[in-house]
Structure formats: C-alpha cells, structure tokens
Amino acid sequence: MRIEIAENHYLEIAKPGIEEELFALVEADRDYLGKFLNWVPKTTEASHMLNFLTNNEARHLDDKSGAFAIYFQNELVGLVDLHKIDKGHNKSTIGYWLRSNMQGKGIMSSSVKAILNYGFKDLGLKRIGIQAAVENKPSRGLAERLNFHFEGIERAGNKLAEGEYLDMAVYSMLAEEFGSAAT
C-alpha cells in the first residue's frame, strides 16, 4: 500500500526488501533514537529488521494497521506506525521516528497527517493517540502543532532496554477533530 503526500514524498507499507536500508538508518542515529525507543538497543543487525518487516506486513494484512516507510526525495528517511488497531474500541495509536538530519522540514508533520487521514477516513477509527517521552520535545511539538489534545503524563510509561523508565506525555485526537489538524 502506498500513500502519496506530495511530489517526492510518500508512505509505503514497510515490508521485507528494505531491511538493510532501514537498519542503516537506525545505525546512523542509534544514540539519538535509543534515548526514546526501547527497541533500538535490541536491533543489532539487519535480520532483526527483516523479522520486524515480515511481522509488519502480516499485521497490515490482518487489520490494515502497520508501519509505513517514509520516503522523501525517493530516499527512506524514517517510519510512521499506525499501531495495532483496537477493534473493540475503534482506536489506535501512532508512533514515529525520522532520521535526525531530516527533522525540521515538515516531513513528519505531513506523514502523520497522512496516517491520520488513513486512520480516520479510510479505516473509520474514532480515536488515535500519540505517546511521547516527556523529554522528547520534537515529538511532543509535532502532536501539539497538529492540535492533538494533551491528556496528561503517564508516569514510568515506557521502559527502555537498559531498565530506565520514561514518563510519557499522552495525546489524542478524535475523528471529529481531525479537520482542525494544523500544518
């Protein structure tokens, strides 16, 4: 599945075949990404990415959720993930990461807006949430710029691989609020 955003900017369901490129992105930004994402220290070779991509493709076939590779100027620059859909409550959450040298260009904002459109309009979800480490100012800033509602802080909400816990800022958007998502 491919979601067109703009000329030379699109999302594509992440599947086997990009594991080497995806692993290279993680390797290049390992220290930065590892501050907030608990899977980074455990991802030590491309085969780990292959396992993730294989599972991701199956998840997408099951419930239409999944991680989408972000391409900008025909280059893989990150992922945005519509996490497993809670069908009983018609909701999901979004996670995302972007190569550090590509931040500040509006790439992730437009990618998240495209996933919101997919989740609310195509899948008919009622609620989509974002959780970001309290210290992760770029991630929190994105949620706030897109007019997500700040719900509060989940204390010790994410455990990193080293055993450290991060407090998580919790945000949500409802389907009827989606039209007010800023740029």
Domain boundaries, the chain: 2-127
Q: Which CATH architecture has domain 2-127?
A: 3-Layer(aba) Sandwich (3.40)
pLDDT at 183 (0 to 100): 46
pLDDT at 64 (0 to 100): 78
Would you give per-residue pLDDT tens digits along the chain (183 residues)? 889 999 999 999 989 998 899 999 999 988 888 777 777 778 888 888 888 888 877 777 777 778 899 999 989 999 999 988 898 999 999 999 999 899 889 999 999 999 999 999 999 999 999 999 999 999 999 999 999 999 999 999 988 877 889 899 999 999 999 986 554
pLDDT at 182 (0 to 100): 54
Residue with token string 């807006």: 113
pLDDT at 180 (0 to 100): 60
pLDDT at 65 (0 to 100): 77
Q: DSSP string covering the chain, please?
A: -EEEEETTEEEEE--TT-HHHHHHHHHHTHHHHHTT-TTTTT--SHHHHHHHHHHHHHHHHHHS-EEEEEEETTEEEEEEEE---BTTTTEEEEEEEE-GGGTTSSHHHHHHHHHHHIIIIIS--SEEEEEEETT-HHHHHHHHHTTPEEEEEEEEEEE-TTS-EEEEEEEEEEGGGGGG---
